[in-house]
Amino acid sequence: MKLTKHTDYALRILIYSALQPEERLLSIQEVTDVYELSRNHVMKIVQKLGQEGYLTTIRGKGGGFHLGRKPEDINLGELICKLEPSMRLVNCEEPVCRISTSCRLQSILSEAMNSFTAVLSSYSLADLIDNPKELSNLLAISA
């Protein structure tokens, strides 16, 4: 079981964004450089995070992006559910499983996933940056 790289990088980007002075504009290049990620990945992720309102993006020359909500208003359970392509742990249709109409596995897995997301939903992005000095040092963000 893994989160997608897309979700993993989105979390890294949101942490970096949340540690910035309020409304400081970031560029794709800056985030690409700081985490040594592929520019193509970062572009797609920033676009997605913008669509979902987690980042505010400003187009054109002098544009960029900044965190779109307060860190404490970015719920980790909701965020991960929005970023992951699917939270269904098995796909009974691919290949189609002949017992799927009577199988109890999906309901047991759903119960376990509900418990998983309930824990995540008790945390927000603010909990991921509750040690801002250490993180800012590691990311070379000046105070």
In the list 44, 55, 116, 143, the residue contacting a copy of itself (rule: CB under 8 A) is 116
Report the SS3 class of residue 55: strand
Per CB under 8 A, contacts with a copy of itself among 39-68 are none
Report the SS3 class of residue 25: coil
d(CA 50, CA 56): 6
List C-alpha distances in Å: 111 to 60, 88, 114.
Answer: 46, 11, 5
> What is the helix (H) or strand (E) element at residue 40, kind and residue range?
helix 39-51
In the list 36, 59, 62, 142, the residue contacting a copy of itself (rule: CB under 8 A) is 36
Contact between 105 and a copy of itself by CB under 8 A: the answer reads yes
Tokens at 21, concatenated = 């002075």
Considering the complex, state which of residue 58 and residue 70 has its C-beta at the smaller distance from a copy of itself.
70
Please name the residues in contact with 137: beta carbons below 8 A apart, sequence gap of 6 or more: none
Candidate ranges 22-30, 51-59, 64-72, 124-132; the one touching a copy of itself (CB under 8 A):
124-132
Residues that bind a copy of itself (CB under 8 A): 1-3, 7-8, 11-12, 15, 34-37, 76, 84, 86-91, 95, 97-99, 101-105, 108-109, 111-113, 115-120, 123, 127-128, 130-131, 134-135, 138-139
